[in-house]
Each structure stands twice: as structure tokens, then as C-alpha cells.
Structure 1
Amino acid sequence: MEQQVFFSSGLQFGMPKFFEYLLVVHPGQEVFSQIKAEKENFSLEYNVSIARKTQPHITIANFLAKEAMEETLIKWMYKIISHHKSFDVMINNFSGFPSSKTVYARIQDHEPFKQLAISLRKINEYINDNGFPNAKLINHPHITIARSLQQQVYEKAIMDYSRKTFNARFVVDELVLLKRQNQYDKCRQVSVFRLGTALN
């Protein structure tokens, strides 16, 4: 099932009451460039501009919070994430989510992401105490190529992409916390969390 993203909308005196926060993994530079090129090609091939507008990433968590909560959330996340070791990610070809008309690059091993998500459940109590719903945590790690496609475009694209071969590898050694006011707002970086060094 695809990661659901929800957006802030409440305004008070022209300023948002809360923000949407996203905790993401950015692929290593070489893989980032490869996926970015794939998104550009998708935009040209299927005339879908949204594919080129979004940066390659894997969403680990997203949640709503007030800006005043940031300092505490960062402290919690630093403590949680620093206990996890860096890990390899293998990308193996493409697949799709029919429900959201999304084409994505497949992550071969989901387990390291699921372990991160389990650990991050600890922040839910603080988020709930401040009147916000639980964080949406990753359940199917992937890198979106294009989403919310028209049905006929999705059907053509998923048929084409099922025949494509794509293999790449990168190391996850940090997570990035971003925030935005709404789905049309550009994400701003809030903090970077380093993972521990994996033992060989």
C-alpha cells in the first residue's frame, strides 16, 4: 500500500497553525541523477510535468506538528535515528500502485526501513498530546517516478515500465527532515540525522 501524505491547511492571521513534516532518504548522488533522468524521460514520454517537479526520495514518515514542537521532535528523532546503523539499498526495476496511479522504482529489501518506522512510533505520544494524529510511517518503501496519473496514462506507463530493467545501489547514512505549509509549498530542510556506522 502506498504511503499516504496529508497536508496542513489551517491558517490563523495569515500564518499556518501547523506544518506538514516529512522525514526522507535522498538516494546517493549517482542514483539520484539516474532516477532524476528517469523522471525527466517520463515527463517527456507521457507529457506529465509533475514527474520532473519532484525530487527522488523515499518517505520514511510524515506528520503534522506546530513549529513550536520542532525542537523536541528533533531531539527525539536524533536519539532514535542515531541508534540505527547505515544500510545498503538495492533498487530493482519498476512497479506500480493501481489505487493511486503511481509508477515507482522498487526497493528490494524493506526490512531496514520497517525497523526505522517501528522505532519512530515513539514520537506519536508527543504528537498526540499536542492534538495531532499519529505519524504516517513507511510501509512500502519506494521511489516515486510519477503519481496521480490519468488512468490511460498509468496503464500505458506500467506496461512499458514492466519491460524495463533498472538496477542501482546506494548507502543510507542520513535522514533529512523537511517541512512545508501545504502540498503546493516547496519543502524546506529542518534537520539532518546521521545513522551509526555499520560494522563490516
Structure 2
Amino acid sequence: MDQKLYFIAMVPSSDIRERVRDLKEELKERFGVKHALKSPAHITLQMPFRRDQAEETAISEVLEEFAREQLSFQVDLSGFDSFPPRVIFVKVNNHEPIKQLCESLRIVLSDRLKFTEKELSHKFHPHMTIATRDLSEDLYDRIWPEYESRELKASFTASGICLLKHNGRFWDIYKEFGFTQK
């Protein structure tokens, strides 16, 4: 059994990915916080899960079919928020279409790919992480006041989902699955 680690996410357009990467780089340079650089900017739809590499084709087929049934939609980002004391993120304004997408995905993962209740993402608050895991409580207390009032406004069209795969060091976009365009 060659089990690999995967997760499913919406990855924004390249311009937003670059802006978020710049924020992550700034946190690394100024505070030594770098764990969030291990993945591209994204909104997680399904938390990391392990599967045999041999199942990649089946997973891809199901995600391709699922994505084709979805319509693209606008995602608005505005400012920052946090899950104190360990996570700082770019705030997503319009949660509802993302929550609906996530709920539909959960059903497909359970029914078609036999994800267990434990594997499925349940608590869901759409966000785009810029600092996590290596963010200590002390650093959080130093960083958060600055980001709490910092401006950021952006939007992108959610036009698909991605299957990301861990390569042993960081997360790569393994495959992209496009939505039907409105």
C-alpha cells in the first residue's frame, strides 16, 4: 500500500495566489512564520485524507464529474480574521456558495468514494490561511493587532476545484477540475 496525503480546495486566480504568497513571505521575513508557505493560497473544502496512490484515477473521475455539475461563482475577500491564537487568514465575505459547494462535495465523497464520517470536513468556515501551526501564541499577540486593521480587498471567480497532493515537503496542485461557466 502506497498511501499518499491529499486535500481538496478552491485555488484562486494566479494574481490572488501571488498576493497571498507575498503576505506569507512577509510573515516569514518579519516573524519567521513559514508553515503556510507549504501550500498555495486556497480555501479548503475537504481536509487532508490518506488514500492509496492507486485510487487517484477513481478520485479524479469522481471530482471531474462533480465539478462539471457546478456553476462558477464570485468569491469576495476583504481584510483579515483569525482563529486565536494559532491562525491568521484572509477573510472570505460570501460564505454561502462555498458552504453549499462543500456540502455537495461531502455527499459525493461519502457516497461515491466511501469517505468515513471521521474523514469528512464538518466544521467549515471558508478562509485563506496566511499563518498557522508555527504561529506561537506570543507571535500571534504581536502580529494580529497589525493585521486586524490591515486593508485587503480582492475577488476572483471560483471556476473549479483542485486535488492537492503532499510530496513529502509541501502541497502541490495535483489536478484541477473546472466548473461549468455561467
What letter matches 1:192 in structure 2?
A: E
Residue-by-residue CA offset, 1:6-34 (whole Å, 9 max, x unaligned): xxxxxx6xxx3x22211122221221221
Specify every segment of 5 or more residues in structure 1 that has no aligned partner in the other structure, as ranges.
Answer: 1-11
Aligned to 1:134: 119
Q: Does 1:161 align with 2:156?
A: no
Q: Is the 8 A contact 2:38 2:170 kept in 1?
A: no
Q: Judging changes above 3 Å, is the alpha-carbon distance between structure 1 residues 122 and 89 closer, same or farther for their aligned structure 2 residues?
A: same
Selected match of 1:186 from 161, 165, 170: 170
Aligned counterparts of 1:44 and 1:118: Cα–Cα separation in 2: 37
- TM-score, normalised to structure 1, is 0.79
Contact persistence 2:6–2:164 (CA under 8 A): yes
Question: How far did residue 64 of structure 1 move?
Answer: 2.4
Matches within 5 A, 1:39-188: 39-62=24-47, 63-98=49-84, 101-120=86-105, 121-128=107-114, 133-136=118-121, 139-148=124-133, 149-180=135-166, 184-188=168-172
How far does residue 133 in structure 1 lie from its aligned partner after superposition? Answer: 4.4
Cα gap change, 1:38 to 1:79, in 2 (>3 Å): same
Q: Which letter does structure 2 place at the counterpart of 1:193? A: F
Cα distance per residue 1:107-165 (max 9 Å; x no partner): 00111211111111222144447x89433267111111110211110112111111111
Structure exhibiting the larger radius of gyration computed from Cα positions = 1
Query: RMSD between aligned alpha carbons?
Result: 2.3
Pair 126,79 (structure 1): closer, same or farther in 2 beyond 3 Å: closer
